[in-house]
């Protein structure tokens, strides 16, 4: 069962300081995502934005981003995702005993997010439509200071993200013969960012079922299903 932020912060207690001062400066990623990040890992203190992309699945992609650290024992929190399903979170590999949820933080969402960045390894934020530059900079600075990863789901984040992810193409699987059940999504994700991540990278994998399953073959979706394409980070 997922914890509330208050319960999780209480469980962390004095261990929060040792977490943020850990020698390890990276967190592990799910296998299918590792090739999108420099060094195949998530750097502590970084900000990662998951855009809405060209094909449904941004929330699943954001959960997948958390799945690697959470499965390895890191504490994760989700702020502002009122409709997040715990079943979906568990299916993406998140340990619900190490996951804190603040579904409706209200107008104090910046304060709540900043507090969680003090003690959690990864905080996924679903911000309101408008975020000021000053708030974005403050939250990014808090993550860098504490060695926590700030992940942001949605468009319009005004901060200077270290990495940006987006689904640039995809297709549903399970209805190729015109009947049956949808059982997964084959997606192509593009990632780009600063420094070593300045050159865009792409990877293909399944969203739905076991996430850590890459799709064999070249990173181009074509034929055999409906496929949508466009640049990442723009709503479709």
Least-confidence region, from 7-16, 90-99, 147-156:
7-16
Least-confidence region, from 53-57, 66-70, 111-115:
53-57
Q: What is the DSSP string of 126-166?
A: ---S---HHHHHHHHHHHHHHT-EEEEESS---S--SEEEE
CB 130 within 8 A of CB 108: no
- Two structure tokens written together for 8: 């999780």
What count of other Cβ atoms lies within 10 Å of the Cβ of residue 172?
A: 17
Q: What is the DSSP string of 160-184?
A: --SEEEEEEEEEEES-TTS-S---E
For residues 100 and 228, give the distance between their C-alpha atoms in angstroms, rounded to a whole number: 34
Taking only the tens place, the pLDDT of each residue in 113-150 is: 999 999 999 999 999 989 999 999 999 999 999 999 99
CB 79 within 8 A of CB 125: yes
- Domains in the chain (CATH in brackets) are 1-11+26-236 (3.40.50.300)
DSSP 107: G
Taking only the tens place, the pLDDT of each residue in 135-194 is: 999 999 999 999 999 999 999 999 999 999 999 999 887 776 666 677 778 999 999 999
């Amino acid at each position: 069962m997922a914890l509330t932020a208050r319960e999780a912060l209480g469980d962390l207690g004095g261990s929060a300081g040792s977490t943020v001062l850990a020698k390890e400066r990276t967190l592990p990623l799910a296998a299918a995502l590792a090739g999108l990040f420099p060094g195949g890992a998530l750097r502590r203190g970084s900000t990662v934005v998951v855009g809405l992309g060209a094909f449904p699945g941004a929330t699943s992609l954001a959960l997948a981003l958390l799945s690697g650290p959470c499965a390895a024992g890191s504490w994760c929190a989700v702020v502002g995702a009122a409709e997040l399903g715990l079943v979906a979170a568990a299916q993406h590999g998140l340990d619900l005993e190490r996951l804190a949820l603040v579904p409706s933080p209200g107008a104090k969402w910046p304060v709540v997010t900043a507090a969680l960045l003090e003690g959690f390894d990864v905080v996924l934020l679903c911000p309101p439509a408008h975020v000021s530059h000053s708030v974005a900079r403050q939250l990014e600075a808090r993550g860098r200071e504490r060695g926590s990863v700030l992940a942001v789901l949605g468009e319009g984040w005004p901060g200077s993200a270290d990495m940006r992810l987006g689904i640039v193409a995809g297709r549903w699987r399970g209805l190729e013969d015109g009947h049956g059940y949808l059982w997964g999504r084959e997606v192509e994700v593009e990632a780009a960012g600063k420094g070593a991540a300045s050159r865009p990278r792409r990877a293909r994998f399944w969203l739905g079922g076991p996430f850590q399953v890459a799709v064999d073959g070249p990173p181009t979706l074509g034929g055999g299903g409906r496929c949508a394409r466009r640049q990442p980070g723009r709503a479709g």
